[in-house]
Amino acid sequence: MSKRLQGKVALVTGASKGIGAAIATRFAEEGAAVAVNYSASREAADRLVAGITARGGKAVAIEGNLTRADQVGSLVADTVRALGAIDILVNNAGVYEFASLDAITPDHFHKHFDLNVLGLLLVSQEAVRHFAADGGAIVNISSGVSTIAPANTAVYTATKASVDAITSVLSKELAPRKIRVNAVNPGMIATEGVISAGLHEGDMRQWIETVTPLGRIGEAAEIAAVAAFLASDEASYITGETVHVTGGLR
């Protein structure tokens, strides 16, 4: 594999498991030094870092709850201290719980928006202040739900529609600083979170496979591959895009 991210420093939020772990692993394989951010899953983050370093890559695990502004500041500062100026930020950290309209509460709303939207904005704000002088790339992990809009996902879908909009806004705002901003919108991926929620089997998966043109759910590595492309110089003329990696489901 050609190392498209050789010499780059990447901060991947929520990287201890699932899509984030796949992205951190792929970025390290592509030559980047990776800050693996975690909030609660320290053991998983340490395991991931150990696996990356065992294969000759460079990675560090850094704690930080992105809903806390003070922890966002220390996360970015610790990343720069350990690895140097940031070239790539992947906003992957997020939460999802489904609820019908009747079941939505203020707590449900704030749990999603505080991390999926406010946390993304806070870490982007802080990271951009520490980007390398020649710019770089931000990759936001959004979701196919922003256009698929399934029933019983009003709050979660709203957060991801917000991520799409923020991606477009920041692509214009940060272009003068040579920072490209794009989003990857995955379909259903068999991650630990999906499995623990019981969504990897049963009605939900069957419905997705039935309506998805490619007839299957996706794999985390397939999202990581697109994120690596968007973070690399091969995507040097791409900004403000939302790339749907959903097997054709829209």
The yes-or-no answer on residue 237 being catalytic is: no
Alpha-carbon span 8 to 215, nearest angstrom: 36
Complete edge-to-edge strand list for the sheet that includes strand 58-63: 58-63, 33-38, 9-12, 88-91, 136-141, 179-186, 242-245
Alpha-carbon span 73 to 247, nearest angstrom: 37
- Residue 247's φ and ψ, nearest 5 degrees, are 65, 20
Alpha-carbon span 107 to 88, nearest angstrom: 32
CA 245 to centroid of chain Cα atoms: 13
Name the catalytic one among 38, 96, 156, 237: 156
Close Cβ partners of 48 (under 8 Å, ≥ 6 residues apart):
15, 16, 21, 24, 25, 36, 59, 61
Catalogue the active-site residues.
Answer: 156
